[in-house]
Every structure is written in structure tokens, then in C-alpha cells.
């Protein structure tokens, strides 16, 4: 079983739609959670951290369910510029301060 699992998609949605991505992680000791965005042929960039209480950044909402080991990302009113691959990322704190990446969910927002 992969440490971080995501639906690879692709998700093709019309502009203005709401789209949700899900992610599960296997290590219950994971402490920090993130969503990264990766544009085609570019490097991953941090989109937002995910907090236990859930958090929102403009049109983006992230949620964490520790009991189910489940993370989600909701994008409202999607824009053409949201087209990218979204990577779910977890960090097992401690001496090994490294990120484990999901394989990503590809989103295309259509005009």
C-alpha cells in the first residue's frame, strides 16, 4: 500500500465548477499535511497547509480527518488557471523531516 494515495484523475470540469480532491495516508503518526500544486513541466509549489480544524484560503478549502486518515481539498468557482496537478503531501515529524508525496490528481478546467 502506498503511503499517500490519491485519485489520479484526470478531472475535467467547466469554469466556475466546484471540485473536490481526496487523499488518504497510511501512517497514523503523520503530523503535518499539505497540498502542493504542480504545473506542467514545473516544480511543485506549496498551495496550502492543512490544519486539524480545517482551513480556507480564498476559493480553496482544506480539511483533515485524523481518525480516517483522510485529507481533502475543495476548489470553488474554478478558474482556467487552476488547471494543474494537485499533490497531497504528509510529513512524519521527528528526526526525519521529509515530505512524502502522493502521485497527484490532475485537474483541467475547461472554458
Partner 1 sequence: DAGVIQSPRHEVTEMGQEVTLRCKPISGHDYLFWYRQTMMRGLELLIYFNNNVPIDDSGMPEDRFSAKMPNASFSTLKIQPSEPRDSAVYFCASRVHGYTFGSGTRLTVV
Shortest Cβ distance from residue 2 to partner 1 (Å)?
9
For partner 1, which is the closer residue by CB, 29 or 96?
A: 96
For partner 1, which is the closer residue by CB, 46 or 110?
A: 46
For partner 1, which is the closer residue by CB, 42 or 79?
A: 42
For partner 1, which is the closer residue by CB, 58 or 97?
A: 97
Shortest Cβ distance from residue 51 to partner 1 (Å)?
15
Task: Tell me the longest C-alpha to C-alpha distance in the chain.
Answer: 46
Find the angle CA(103)-CA(54)-CA(24) to the nearest 5 degrees.
30
C-alpha cell at 19: 471540485
Shortest Cβ distance from residue 56 to partner 1 (Å)?
19
DSSP notation for 37-105: EE-TTS-EEEEEEE-TT-EEETTEEEEEETTTTEEEEEE-S--GGG-EEEEEEEE--SS---EEE---E
Shortest Cβ distance from residue 45 to partner 1 (Å)?
7
Residues that bind partner 1 (CB under 8 A): 41-46, 87, 95-104
Amino acid at each position: 500500500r502506498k503511503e499517500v494515495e490519491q485519485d489520479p484523475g484526470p478531472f475535467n470540469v467547466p469554469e466556475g465548477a466546484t471540485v473536490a480532491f481526496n487523499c488518504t495516508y497510511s501512517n497514523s503518526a503523520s503530523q503535518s499535511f499539505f497540498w502542493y500544486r504542480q504545473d506542467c513541466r514545473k516544480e511543485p509549489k506549496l498551495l496550502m497547509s492543512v490544519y486539524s480544524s480545517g482551513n480556507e484560503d480564498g476559493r480553496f478549502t482544506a480539511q483533515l480527518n485524523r481518525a480516517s486518515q483522510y485529507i481533502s481539498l475543495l476548489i470553488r468557482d474554478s478558474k482556467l488557471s487552476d488547471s494543474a496537478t494537485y499533490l497531497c503531501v504528509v510529513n512524519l515529524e521527528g528526526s526525519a523531516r521529509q515530505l512524502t508525496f502522493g502521485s497527484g490528481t490532475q485537474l483541467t478546467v475547461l472554458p
